[in-house]
Amino acid sequence: MTEDSDWVERFPGLSRLDLPTKQLLTKRSTIVRVPKNTMVFGPGKSPENMLFLLDGTVRVQQVSETGHQIVLYRIEAGQSCVLTTACLLAYDDYSAEGIAESVVKAAAVPREVFDDLVAGSKPFRDFVFAAFSKRLTDLFLMIDEVAFQRVDVRLADKLIKLSSGADSVSTTHQKLSVELGTAREVISRQLQEFQRRGWIEQARGSVTLKDRQQLQTLANHNA
Amino acid sequence: MTEDSDWVERFPGLSRLDLPTKQLLTKRSTIVRVPKNTMVFGPGKSPENMLFLLDGTVRVQQVSETGHQIVLYRIEAGQSCVLTTACLLAYDDYSAEGIAESVVKAAAVPREVFDDLVAGSKPFRDFVFAAFSKRLTDLFLMIDEVAFQRVDVRLADKLIKLSSGADSVSTTHQKLSVELGTAREVISRQLQEFQRRGWIEQARGSVTLKDRQQLQTLANHNA
DNA sequence: GATGTTTGGTGACATTGTCACTGAACGGTG
DNA sequence: CACCGTTCAGTGACAATGTCACCAAACATC
């Protein structure tokens, strides 16, 4: 692990900044550590600062008025909470919350500093707008998936993504149902079918991928 | 209709700008008119300019790889295409398109001018970020609806919204199905049920609202 | 009137969501 | 270890929605 003081260099989108801007960011930010399963932001918890994630991931999910839950997206290391933060600050009738999925290390930048940077640095503007754009297009894709994609296809895709190349995924049927915005029973049935086909093995609280190729083929069934 | 040259004043979010900024916007923008049913932006059609809508509405919808369609949102007079534009410029694998639903009059602002404004004017930054935030929260709500809300509730809501207070809505079952991202047959069945209850009357290409109160009650069924 | 297109209706069936349960697996505790 | 409460998963019946293959009426055009 490198020094935290040069965190700006580790952001692909921020490396283009000119030196004074980098120094401003470094000087005016503080490194914070957030324990696992902490709510980073959420109803009644508007953060004072914009976070730039150095380590760990933040899961952004929504609790519907009907009590249902769905995972909207994740903020990974190298990305910032800016848009989510800004968004939630502006409209307090939101229902989304951000939860640290692991220990999270982040650089906290005060809002005034953020505003100054947007005003003063074109590369920083580009970074912010690129992040916004990516988030919007991702949400477009997500709407498309939720509305039109079959559950088995989405589940296969999610299993592969969550595995990150590992052999097994530590999760429950309940958690998987929240990932896809469906019901636990649906996940149970689909996983049974996958198991029947020999694509996975199940244990309490974990799914082992036995045939990643077949899962991938199903996940690619876009048409 | 007032003079087009003072369009900035007619934007609630832009009225706070200082005089030089307003003058810059006015001077460096051109008023454009777009015929009904024109594609304002879309695959292979990245606009050169940021549009600020003075009149009319732009419908933003998505064509899925499966051939399904869904309306994402509308840009009304007083709002700007900025985010959609920026978003689609950045990621060309998008599938969203913007279509003028009526004759649209808009102020076109070149990208460089837009960037200068963001850099130089705090009120303008606030306008832009507020627009982004609103869009994101709206998309969050939409995901929630698509994933968890019943079709009858969503249809009742959509009929009321599309009516804009008028007695009837000129649309087809097919178009309504795209609004909700469902199938035409589903719309046909739901409308039949509404008609059976005396809430609406149907004619080819139009739906007449007979009992707005009942529809509203159903639409409010959030839990 | 003949023809083609758009719009809407219908039945059969597949998929997904909901509800009310059941029991197994796990983590305590005495 | 036995006991107990909690979490996790399985099941069947049924409702809601999506898909498919049609059909028929309304409309536009010639």
Segment B119-147, tens digit of pLDDT = 999 999 999 988 888 888 899 999 999 99
pLDDT higher for A89 or A164?
A164
b/e B93-130 (16+ beta carbons within 10 angstroms → b): ebbbbbbbeeebbbbbbeeebbebbbeebeebbebbbe
* Predicted pLDDT at A82: 77
Spatial CA neighbour of A32 closest among A45, A20, A48 = A48
CB-CB neighbours of A53 under 10 Å:
24
**Considering only CB atoms, which chain B residues are within 8 Å of A72?**
140, 143
> B143 and A143 in contact by Cβ < 8 A?
yes
| Same fold yes or no, A4-146 and A150-219 | no
| Structural element, H or E, at residue A146 | helix A122-148
CB contact set of A79 (below 8 Å; sequence gap of 6+)? A52, A53, A131
* Predicted pLDDT at A13: 84
* Predicted pLDDT at A134: 87
* Predicted pLDDT at B59: 96
> B133 and A91 in contact by Cβ < 8 A?
yes
> A133 and B65 in contact by Cβ < 8 A?
no
Q: Is B69 left (phi over 0), alpha (psi -120 to 50) or beta?
A: beta
Task: Give a three-class secondary structure readout of B79-134.
Answer: CECHHHHHHHHHCCCCCEEEEECCCEEEEEEEHHHHHHHHHHCHHHHHHHHHHHHH
Confidence of residue A4 (pLDDT cuts 50, 70, 90): confident
CA distances to A15, A40, B176 from A115, rounded to whole Å, are 19, 21, 42
At which residue do the structure tokens 């083929």 appear? A217
| pLDDT tens per residue, range B166-183 | 999 999 999 999 999 999
Q: How far apart are the C-alpha atoms of B4 and A101, rounded to whole Å?
A: 52
Domain ranges of chain B: 4-146, 150-219
State the average pLDDT over residues B200-212: 97
Angle at B73 between CA B189 and CA B139, to 5 degrees: 100
Q: Does B150 touch chain A (CB under 8 A)?
A: no
The residue whose CA lies nearest the C1' of nucleotide C24 is A204
Q: Does B143 touch chain A (CB under 8 A)?
A: yes
| pLDDT tens per residue, range A40-93 | 988 877 777 889 999 999 999 999 989 999 999 999 999 988 777 766 666 666
Positive or negative CA dihedral for A89, A92, A98, A104? positive
Q: Using a 7 Å cut-off to protein CB atoms, list the covered nucleotides of chain C.
A: 6-12, 15-20, 25-26
Q: Does A102 touch chain B (CB under 8 A)?
A: no
* Predicted pLDDT at A73: 96
Q: What is the CATH number of domain A4-146?
A: 2.60.120.10
* Predicted pLDDT at A6: 84
Query: Is residue A217 pLDDT above 70, yes or no?
Result: yes
pLDDT higher for A167 or B41?
A167
**Does domain A150-219 bear CATH number 1.10.287.3510?**
no
* Predicted pLDDT at B113: 94
Q: How far apart are the C-alpha atoms of B30 and A104, rounded to whole Å?
A: 47
State the average pLDDT over residues A180-195: 98
State the average pLDDT over residues B78-100: 77
Note whether A159 and A208 are within 8 A (CB). no
Query: Is residue A2 pLDDT above 60, yes or no?
Result: no
